[in-house]
């Protein structure tokens, strides 16, 4: 009896031992499997994160390159270099490059908004850029009129495409007052030109050459011509040529030739004396 009991206890102890060994092995196996899965998931997550970062960097570089290419084109960089309007020492400076890239991205962003049909959003972007540039002048900083001219032209053309002629003329006039009227007033105060009828005296139309400003005034002249304001259009076109002589051929267009002929004819008639007068 005692022997049988002892035998049974031994079997029970053996069973418990085997159970412990099995449970321990199972726990270790599960733990190893979990650790393996965790490492695999972590590696996959890390690889996915790296791919996302690489993709983001690629998109950012692509956006930057397209922005710079677009802005360089609208800023007429090549033309301004030929005219000697860009100081090579300034262009290579880090400050200039950073500012150029910042404006390039803003203008390219506005372009994408236009392509997406977000016309009002694009208009707001252009208006903010113009305000920032004008604020630089108020703060006593150097106001780059080329930057102002480019954004003004883009905003005016955008408003014209949207059919808002009142806003288009307002945009053009704001630039005309800033770049032409104020510049001529400053030159008179400096004694560089005679006080007189600046709009009609070719000898008094002296400006620092600027291809971008000329482009704006050329567009303004065509806008006024389409509105039927031919004499005003001719005067604005003459201002455009003052800023960039290469735009001279535009006066040979039929519309401007006709206006010039009428103007000369009216001038001759005005100067003819009445034969009844002494």
Residues 154, 122: Cα–Cα separation, whole Å: 10
Per the document, the length of the chain is 278
Q: Which residue has 């102890």 as its token pair? A: 13
Q: Is the pTM of this model over 0.95?
A: no
Q: How far is CA 17 from CA 13, 24, 223, 264, in A?
A: 6, 11, 99, 120
Q: What is the pLDDT of residue 92?
A: 67
Secondary structure class of 194 (helix, strand, coil): coil
Secondary structure class of 263 (helix, strand, coil): helix
Residues 170, 187: Cα–Cα separation, whole Å: 25
Q: What is the pLDDT of residue 76?
A: 75
Q: What helix, strand, coil percent values describe the chain, rounded to 5?
A: 80, 0, 20
Could you tell me if 142 and 90 are in contact, meaning their C-beta atoms sit under 8 angstroms apart? no
Residues 165, 215: Cα–Cα separation, whole Å: 19
Residues 6+ apart with CB under 8 A from 232: 224
Tokens of 63: 């956006």
Q: What is the pLDDT of residue 278?
A: 42
Among 106, 104, 112, CA closest to 128: 106
- In angstroms, how far apart are the furthest CA atoms of the chain? 165
Can you give the pLDDT of all 278 residues of the chain as single tens digits? Answer: 554 545 455 545 545 454 554 444 444 454 455 556 556 666 666 666 777 777 788 888 899 999 999 998 888 776 666 666 666 666 667 888 898 899 999 999 999 999 999 999 999 999 999 999 888 766 554 446 788 999 999 999 999 999 999 999 999 999 998 877 766 666 666 555 443 343 444 334 445 567 888 889 999 999 999 999 999 999 999 999 988 898 999 999 999 999 988 888 877 655 545 444 44
Among 145, 126, 129, CA closest to 137: 145
Residues 278, 271: Cα–Cα separation, whole Å: 15
Residues 255, 249: Cα–Cα separation, whole Å: 12
């Amino acid at each position: 009896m005692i022997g049988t009991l002892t035998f049974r206890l031994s079997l029970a102890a053996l069973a418990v031992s085997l159970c412990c060994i099995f449970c321990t092995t199972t726990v270790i196996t599960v733990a190893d499997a979990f650790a393996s899965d965790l490492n695999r998931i972590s590696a996959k997550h890390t690889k996915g994160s790296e791919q996302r970062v690489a993709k983001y960097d690629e998109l950012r570089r692509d956006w930057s390159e397209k922005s710079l290419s677009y802005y360089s084109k609208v800023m007429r960089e090549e033309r301004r270099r030929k005219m000697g309007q860009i100081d090579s020492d300034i262009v290579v400076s880090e400050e200039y490059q950073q500012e150029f890239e910042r404006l390039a991205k803003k203008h390219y962003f506005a372009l994408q908004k236009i392509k997406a049909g977000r016309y009002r959003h694009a208009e707001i972007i252009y208006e903010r850029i113009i305000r920032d540039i004008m604020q630089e002048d108020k703060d006593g900083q150097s106001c780059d009129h080329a930057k102002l001219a480019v954004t003004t032209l883009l905003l005016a053309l955008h408003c014209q495409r949207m059919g808002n002629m009142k806003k288009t003329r307002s945009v053009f006039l704001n630039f005309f007052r800033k770049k032409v009227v104020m510049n001529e007033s400053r030159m008179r105060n400096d004694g560089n030109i005679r006080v007189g009828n600046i709009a009609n005296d070719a000898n008094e139309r002296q400006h620092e050459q600027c291809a971008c400003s000329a482009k704006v005034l050329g567009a303004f002249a065509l806008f006024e011509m389409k509105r039927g304001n031919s004499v005003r259009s001719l005067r604005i076109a003459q201002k455009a040529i003052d800023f960039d002589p290469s735009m001279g051929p535009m006066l040979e267009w039929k519309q401007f030739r006709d206006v010039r002929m009428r103007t000369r004819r009216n001038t001759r008639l005005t100067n003819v004396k009445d034969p009844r007068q002494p």
